[in-house]
Every structure is written in structure tokens, then in C-alpha cells.
């Protein structure tokens, strides 16, 4: 961080003194006696701290503070007040000053304040940098999932969000097409504008047309007053056309014309209105097949399929089902007594191995139901719907109570932990969380069983490496 300080004071002898004193302490000093000129200097230069007098001709230090904050919010401002006036000090802090010094002050006291301001600035930049890193690591905070398929999708979302291109989101029912569309909006330059969603399924053409384009007064029997359409409501934001594959053919032609001309004509009206809207459309149908079948217009397909984001089915997402299950569990217990805190291992196994044809939505419903049904503080297989509970998975425990087959507790635990680690690609932190076990306890047990070499999933070795193989052999 540089040590460039801009000092503003209309008392030039004060400026000279401060410059001499601070330069001798290796700060780079620029001085300005006019607040207006100082603001221009500030806009052009790269300063770390601003030091300003509070009583100046032309502009008060408090006003100057406000201007500096508006212009360069990251630069801390230190205000010099003429006397111990609480009012002016409070005023400057309220205006966004970082701190104040009361005249007369010693240079040493000023230097301490300047150094704190520099440190403060450095910390803020560090926080900003870390936030960017976190953002890059997990760009779509609302969305849970760390599988390779999801990471590929996050990558596309981040890139496409920056553009204004029309996006087609495809994926099976319940995969999260709407949440993806919202994320695209939230990360776009339009994020402060509205996100307006409409489902095109099961809507007759006239209704859909007036919903989208609006209507004039008297356009039809019920139209007692004019109403703007969703293209107008979404102005400056994103219009989400859900289930676009089910739009009636007649409406498809009208939508195509609107998108080509970037104008809509309200029902009953004779003037066209331009719109400023980004379109994101979603479908769980195979639109190309619909085009071949003649149920979807080819020209509209090309118009909306500028960029396609394919949301993977849940069964293609490695162990995301378990991560999602945990997140849904947390979500539905946080607003209640928090009675249910986790999953029994057998339930976790079913959740991982069941193929989830209804995708994330099915999983979410299943967890909500299980939380409502659970008799203990951990969800068991018996709390899962039959279809999930009876999916075929490797069992941890034998079905029988034949004394010859019964395993010692320690062995059961070793096998079970081994299986969970294999399922989680050796990620011990996640395993400990899932097992409701302290991480150190898990490490200690692995060490005892000679499995400490099994590496963490977030370490350099990739999933299912030697560590996981080793676990697979013992279990």
C-alpha cells in the first residue's frame, strides 16, 4: 500500500508545517488549499488517506467528507477540528470520516491516526479480495452442489450472466431450472432490476398474450382499465419464460416478432412499445424434438437458444444428493425446534444411491416429510418414502441376528466409516459432519485402523484415488 496523503486546508502555513513534518516521516504528501480543486486532484490521483480541515472557505470539511466518500469510498478521511467540538466531530464521522484529530495536536498523535487509517484501508481491501476469492470458489451461493457437473454449470452461469444474451435453461423436471435462472439474473448487471417469472404452461393464447404484452382499456370484455404486461413490468430486469416448450404455436409467432423487433404491442392497442428486458427461458422438454414434431417453431428456437445452460440430473451429480439433503434438513429445522439434527448412516446411504427421478424437488419433499415423521434426532431409513428406503444398496449390517454373523461394534463402525468415506471420495471433513462425529475423533479412529493415509477430498488428490481404494478394500 502506498503512503500518499492528500492534505486539504485553506490555512497555507498549516499545510506547509504538515507537509514538512510528514515528509520527514516518509509519507508522500500532496497539499491543496481549495476543497473544490482537492476533489479534482483526488479523482485523478492514487491516495491512501485524506486529511482535511473542518473549517474552510467554500466548503466545510463535513461536506468535503461526503463528497470524498461518494467519489472514493475506499479512502479513509481524517478530519482536523479546530477545537474540542463534539458537534463538528460527530458531524464529520456521520458524513463518513474515518476519524478526527483535535487541534492543537502533536505530529506523533497524527501519525498514529494516519497509520491506523492505512491499516484500516489495507484490511478492507483484504476483505474485498477474500470476498472475490470466495465468490469465485462458490459463485452461486444459493445453490448447493460441489460435483464436477455442477461446477461446470456454475462456470457457464458466471460467464453468461455478464452478457445480455438470451438464455435457454434446459433440464429434467425438478433439477433447479428456476433457481438457475434467478442466479443468472442475480449475477447480471440487471440484478437491481426486477426478475419477473411466468409459466407458459396451460395458458390459452389470448390470456398469455395479454399477460405478456399488456392490454388497453376495453380491449376485451373484462378489460375495465389498461394494464401493462410483464415485458413492461420486467423493464430493466429479466423476464423468465418458464415451460416455454408448452407455449401455444400462435403465441410463439407473436413472441418471435416481439423478440426480433424488440417491441411489444398491447392487446387492443395500435402502438408498439419498446422494452428493455433480458429473456431467460426454461424447458424440461427436448425442444429440438419438439421442433421436428412441429410443436415448436424452429425460428423461435434459434432466437431463444443463443446460450444454453443444461442443468444436470441429480443422479449425475456424484454426492450432491447428500449435501442437498443436509441443507434441506437445516433449512426446515432452523425455523422449528431443531429437533432433528442429522441422518442415520443407513438413511444417508439410501439418499446417495437412490436415482432421484424427480431430482432436487423430489429430494426436498422427501427430506421435509422425513423431518416431520422422524421420531429420533436422526432421520432413519424408516422415515424415508418406501421407494427410497427400498432401493438396493450395500448394507452395513447383516439382516440376521445369527450369532455367527454378528459383528463386533468396532468392526461395524470401521466398515461404516469406510463406506461413508468412499461415498464422499475420501472427504473426511464432510464425513465427520455427516456422521455427527468430531473431526478429530474421526482422524483418531482412522489412525487407529491404519487408514490415516486416506486423503481429504479437497486436497490435491482427486476423487476415488488410492486413499478411497484402500478404504473400499477394508469395507
164 vs 178 by CB, closer to Mg ion: 178
Query: Which segments of 167-223 does DSSP mark as H helices, in order?
Result: 177-186, 205-213
| Calpha distance 98→94 (Å, rounded) | 9
| Calpha distance 29→111 (Å, rounded) | 13
CB of 401 to ligand ATP, least distance (A): 40
State the sign of the Cα–Cα–Cα–Cα dihedral 207, 209, 212, 213.
negative
Query: Which of Mg ion, ligand ATP, none binds 88 (CB below 5-8 Å, type-dependent)?
Result: none
Farthest-apart Cα atoms in the chain, separation: 98
User: What phi and psi, each to the nearest 5 degrees, are found at residue 194?
Assistant: -75, 155
The count of residues interacting with ligand ATP (CB under 6 A) is 16
Asked if 175 touches ligand ATP (CB under 6 A), the answer is yes
Q: Which of residues 262-321 bind ligand ATP (CB under 6 A)?
A: 284
Asked if 64 touches ligand ATP (CB under 6 A), the answer is no
76, 174, 237, 266: residue in contact with ligand ATP (rule CB under 6 A):
174
67 vs 320 by CB, closer to ligand ATP: 320
Which residue is listed with cell 461446470?
Answer: 152
Q: Which of residues 21-60 bind ligand ATP (CB under 6 A)?
A: none
Query: Which of Mg ion, ligand ATP, none binds 144 (CB below 5-8 Å, type-dependent)?
Result: ligand ATP
178, 246, 272, 456: residue in contact with Mg ion (rule CB under 5 A):
178
For 222-253, b/e burial (b = at least 16 CB within 10 A) is eeeeebebbbbbbbebbbbbbbbbbbbeebbe
55 vs 199 by CB, closer to Mg ion: 199
316 C-beta neighbours (distance < 10 Å), count: 14
Asked if 143 touches ligand ATP (CB under 6 A), the answer is yes
Chain residue at closest Cβ approach to ligand ATP: 176
Q: Which of residues 409-428 bind ligand ATP (CB under 6 A)?
A: none
Q: Considering only CA atoms, which of 187, 195, 128, 193 is closest in space to residue 158?
A: 187
Q: Which of residues 362-401 bind ligand ATP (CB under 6 A)?
A: 364
Which residue is listed with cell 461536506?
Answer: 63
Site residues for Mg ion per CB under 5 A: 178
Site residues for ligand ATP per CB under 6 A: 143-145, 171, 173-179, 284, 324, 360-361, 364
Amino acid at each position: 500500500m502506498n503512503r500518499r496523503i492528500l492534505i486539504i486546508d485553506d490555512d497555507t502555513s498549516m499545510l506547509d508545517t504538515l507537509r514538512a513534518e510528514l515528509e520527514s516521516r516518509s509519507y508522500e504528501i500532496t497539499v491543496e488549499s481549495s476543497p473544490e480543486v482537492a476533489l479534482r486532484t483526488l479523482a485523478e490521483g492514487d491516495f491512501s488517506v485524506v486529511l482535511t480541515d473542518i473549517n474552510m472557505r467554500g466548503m466545510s470539511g463535513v461536506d468535503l467528507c461526503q463528497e470524498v466518500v461518494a467519489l472514493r469510498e475506499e479512502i479513509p478521511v481524517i478530519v482536523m477540528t479546530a477545537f474540542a467540538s463534539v458537534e463538528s466531530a460527530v458531524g464529520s464521522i456521520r458524513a463518513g470520516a474515518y476519524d478526527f484529530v483535535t487541534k492543537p495536536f502533536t505530529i506523533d498523535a497524527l501519525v498514529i491516526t494516519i497509520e491506523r487509517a492505512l491499516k484500516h484501508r489495507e484490511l478492507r481491501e483484504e476483505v474485498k479480495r477474500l470476498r472475490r476469492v470466495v465468490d469465485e470458489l462458490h459463485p452461486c451461493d444459493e445453490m448447493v452442489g460441489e460435483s464436477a457437473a455442477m461446477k461446470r454449470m456454475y462456470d457457464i452461469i458466471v460467464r453468461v450472466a455478464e452478457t445480455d444474451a438470451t438464455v435457454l435453461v434446459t433440464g429434467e423436471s425438478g433439477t433447479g431450472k428456476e433457481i438457475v435462472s434467478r442466479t443468472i439474473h442475480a449475477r447480471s448487471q440487471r440484478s437491481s432490476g426486477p426478475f419477473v417469472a411466468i409459466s407458459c404452461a396451460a395458458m390459452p393464447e389470448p390470456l398469455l398474450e395479454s399477460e405478456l404484452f399488456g392490454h388497453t382499456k376495453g380491449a376485451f370484455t373484462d378489460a375495465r382499465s389498461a394494464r401493462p404486461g410483464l415485458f413492461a413490468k420486467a423493464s430493466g430486469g429479466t423476464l423468465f419464460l418458464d415451460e416455454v416448450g408448452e407455449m401455444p404455436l400462435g403465441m410463439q409467432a407473436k413472441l418471435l416478432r416481439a423478440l426480433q423487433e424488440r417491441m411489444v404491442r398491447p392487446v387492443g392497442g395500435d402502438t408498439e412499445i419498446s422494452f428493455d428486458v433480458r429473456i431467460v427461458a426454461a424447458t424440461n422438454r427436448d425442444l429440438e424434438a419438439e421442433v421436428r414434431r412441429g410443436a415448436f417453431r424452429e425460428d423461435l428456437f434459434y432466437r431463444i437458444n443463443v446460450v444454453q445452460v443444461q442443468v444436470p440430473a441429480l443422479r449425475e451429480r456424484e454426492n450432491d444428493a447428500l449435501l442437498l439433503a443436509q441443507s434441506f434438513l437445516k433449512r426446515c429445522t432452523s425455523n422449528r425446534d431443531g429437533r432433528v439434527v442429522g441422518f442415520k448412516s443407513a438413511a444417508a446411504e439410501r439418499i446417495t444411491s437412490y436415482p432421484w427421478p424427480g431430482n432436487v424437488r423430489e429430494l426436498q419433499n422427501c427430506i421435509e416429510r422425513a423431518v416431520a415423521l422422524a421420531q429420533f434426532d436422526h432421520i432413519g431409513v424408516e422415515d424415508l418414502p418406501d421407494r427410497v428406503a427400498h432401493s438396493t444398496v450395500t448394507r452395513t449390517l447383516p439382516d440376521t441376528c445369527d450369532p455367527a454373523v454378528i459383528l463386533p461394534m468396532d468392526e461395524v463402525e470401521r466398515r461404516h466409516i469406510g463406506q461413508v468415506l468412499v461415498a464422499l471420495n475420501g472427504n473426511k471433513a464432510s464425513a465427520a459432519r455427516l456422521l455427527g462425529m468430531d473431526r478429530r475423533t474421526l482422524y483418531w479412529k482412522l489412525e487407529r485402523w491404519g487408514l490415516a493415509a486416506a486423503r481429504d477430498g479437497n486436497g490435491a488428490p482427486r476423487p476415488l484415488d488410492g486413499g478411497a481404494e484402500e478404504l473400499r478394500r477394508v469395507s
